[in-house]
Amino acid sequence: MGCNIAIDGPAGAGKSTIAKKVAGELSFIYVDTGAMYRAMALFLLNRKVDCSNEEEIGEVCTQADISIEYRDGEQIVLLNGENVNAHLRSEEVGRMASVSSANPRVREHLLMLQRGLAQSHDVVMDGRDIGTVILPRAEVKIYLTASADTRAKRRYLELSEKGLVCDFEEIRKDIVERDERDMNREVSPLKQAEDAVLVDSSELSIDAVVAEILRIYHEKVEC
> Within its chain, how far is the Cα of 131 from the centroid?
12
| Contact residue for ligand DC among 29, 44, 57, 97 (CB under 6 A) | 97
33 forms part of the interface with ligand DC (CB under 6 A): yes
DSSP string, 66-85: EEEEEETTEEEEEETTEE-G
| Contact residue for ligand DC among 11, 49, 66, 140 (CB under 6 A) | 11
| Contact residue for ligand DC among 98, 103, 132, 201 (CB under 6 A) | 98
The binding track of 49-88 with respect to ligand DC, each residue x by CB under 6 A or -, is ----------------------------------------
The neighbour count for residue 109, using CB atoms within 10 Å, is 19
| Closest by CA position to 198, among listed 10, 34, 32 | 10
Least CB distance to ligand DC at residue 58 (A):
15
Q: Which is nearer to ligand DC, 4 or 101 (CB)?
A: 101
Binding window for ligand DC (CB under 6 A); candidates: 51-59, 92-100, 192-200, 209-217: 92-100
Pairing state of beta strands 123-127 and 29-32? parallel
179 forms part of the interface with ligand DC (CB under 6 A): no
127 forms part of the interface with ligand DC (CB under 6 A): yes
Q: Which is nearer to ligand DC, 115 or 121 (CB)?
A: 115
Q: How many residues of this chain interact with ligand DC, rule: CB under 6 A?
A: 15
Whole-number Cα distances in Å, 141 to 120, 191, 198, 204: 19, 12, 9, 19
> Within its chain, how far is the Cα of 79 from the centroid?
17
Residues in Cβ contact with 65 at an 8 Å cutoff, skipping those fewer than 6 apart:
78, 79, 80, 81
| Closest by CA position to 178, among listed 48, 38, 84, 78 | 38
Least CB distance to ligand DC at residue 71 (A):
20
Binding site for ligand DC (CB under 6 A): 11, 33-34, 37-38, 94, 97-98, 101, 127-130, 178, 182
